[in-house]
Amino acid sequence: MSDIGFIGLGIMGRPMAANLQAAGHKLFLYDIGPVPQNLLDGGAVKCASGKDVASKAEIVILMVPDTPHVEAALFAANGVAEGLSKGKIVVDMSSISPIATKEFAAKINKLGCDYLDAPVSGGEVGAKEASLTIMVGGPDAAFEKVKPLFDKMGKNVTLVGGTGDGQTTKVANQIIVALTIEAVGEALLFASKAGADPARVRKALMGGFASSRILELHGQRMVDRKFDPGFRIELHQKDLNLALQGAKSLQISLPNTATCQELFNSCAAHGGSKWDHSAMVKALELLADHEIGSGKKA
């Protein structure tokens, strides 16, 4: 069993690390917040820094919110890079800039270590159930070494291509997710405003071509008015920023991605940065002056 370092123990990282621990791996943990007691009780070791983690572990996994956090975890004073030795592997499972990923990988490679970008999709539920989709970029040999770990955290694990391609795939994923949330929100809002029961409409649509995991899970959230994260709006905003910045550099237009970002911006303006991203529907409800399922004005 490999000794695994894990940095970033939030909503996603905590259950992902727990699944590795349940598989029998020794964990070396670091987080800027408290390290979960259940992991320590299971035999994990609390480390003082990223450097400390990297000096003890063969494979170091990062699961932090954004590009600057990855950069700091890797290269700040007492960061991961200072604790690495030749032959170790760094795996970034955060969702960050593909361009920055290539820069980070080059620096880690100069230390004689491999680097994989391996962002995930599936949210907190997927992390807890070890059913995440994991999109990996990097060298084949490093992927084969780490794949047994990926298999303990996810069910759909794909080596997409070279360094940065995992992050590019995750950006594409987040475009699809955002646009589908918007479509489900529009559909249920239309049905509710027209006088139909949105819960029954959702149930009917689940049996047809419009069926999707987002209609299943987030459609239910919209009907039930349960918007605790999950996956926070502020994080999806970050991902769509990456999409729109990338589109600008590629000289392409992503008009519906831009619309979804504006709807997220509206939610944030109403205090919803930390709502689940399914709460995008609230921005649509404000435009319609109608709340799904209630018959009331939004």
State the catalytic residues.
170
List of residues 6+ apart from 190 with CB closer than 8 A: none
- The 10 Å Cβ neighbour count of residue 151 is 13
Centroid of chain to Cα 264: 17
Return the closest-CA partner of residue 19 out of 152, 177, 143. 152
Query: For tokens 């319609």, what's the residue?
Result: 288
What pairs with residue 136 in β-bridges? Answer: 159
CA 185 – CA 292 distance, rounded (Å): 9
Q: Helix, strand, coil shares of the chain as percentages rounded to 5?
A: 55, 15, 30
The SS3 of residue 109 is helix
CA 208 – CA 245 distance, rounded (Å): 35
Helices of type H across 11-83? 13-22, 37-41, 50-56, 67-75, 80-83
- The 10 Å Cβ neighbour count of residue 26 is 17
